[in-house]
Amino acid sequence: MNAFSKLALATTLCAAAGLASAQDHAHAGHGAHDAHGAHGAQAGAKATAAAELVDGEVKKIDKGAGKITLRHGELKSLNMPAMSMVFRVKDAAMLDQVKTGDKVKFAADRVNGAVTIVELKPAQ
């Protein structure tokens, strides 16, 4: 094998190793957009179980669309600063538990690529 062939093989192997490492990093749920189907659902379920509840305030509820607008604290698990934003809810029945102006505790995760409320309860 000549020097050029050895260099080409080494470059290919390094590139493949880098790609595998990047894919492992994305599957670990470190803020990467998750469009990997079942693998993403499994990683999301594990992250949700360990996610801490965040304080929020209900600004608007759209039951027809299955969405809620919250002013919330930092979402560390999603690397998102405090802000107001619209979220989808995992289960539309969650929206029956709260009303505009309520203080809430919630957990959010990426579900099918969208930031979604996976747990929602009135603050105590």
Is the pLDDT confidence value at 85 over 60? Answer: yes
CATH no. for residue 88? 2.40.50.320
Nearest alpha-carbon partner for 124 in 59, 55, 40, 67: 55
Q: How many domains does the chain contain in total?
A: 1
Give a yes or no: residue 22 inside a domain: no
Per-residue model confidence (pLDDT) at position 2: 58
Give a yes or no: residue 65 inside a domain: yes
Give a yes or no: residue 16 inside a domain: no
Give a yes or no: residue 72 inside a domain: yes
Per-residue pLDDT band for 124 (boundaries 50, 70, 90) equals confident
Per-residue pLDDT band for 108 (boundaries 50, 70, 90) equals very high
Give a yes or no: residue 7 inside a domain: no
Per-residue pLDDT band for 12 (boundaries 50, 70, 90) equals very low
Q: Which residue range(s) make up the domain with 91?
A: 46-122
Give a yes or no: residue 25 inside a domain: no
Per-residue model confidence (pLDDT) at position 95: 96
Give a yes or no: residue 79 inside a domain: yes
Average confidence (pLDDT) over 43-66? 77
Per-residue model confidence (pLDDT) at position 25: 40
Stretch (H or E) spanning 121: strand 114-122
pTM: 0.60
Give a yes or no: residue 33 inside a domain: no
Tell me what the pLDDT averaged over the chain comes to.
74
What's the pLDDT tens digit per position in 92-107?
999 999 999 999 999 9
Nearest alpha-carbon partner for 52 in 33, 75, 68: 75
What's the pLDDT tens digit per position in 14-39?
444 443 444 444 444 444 444 444 44
- DSSP state at residue 124: -
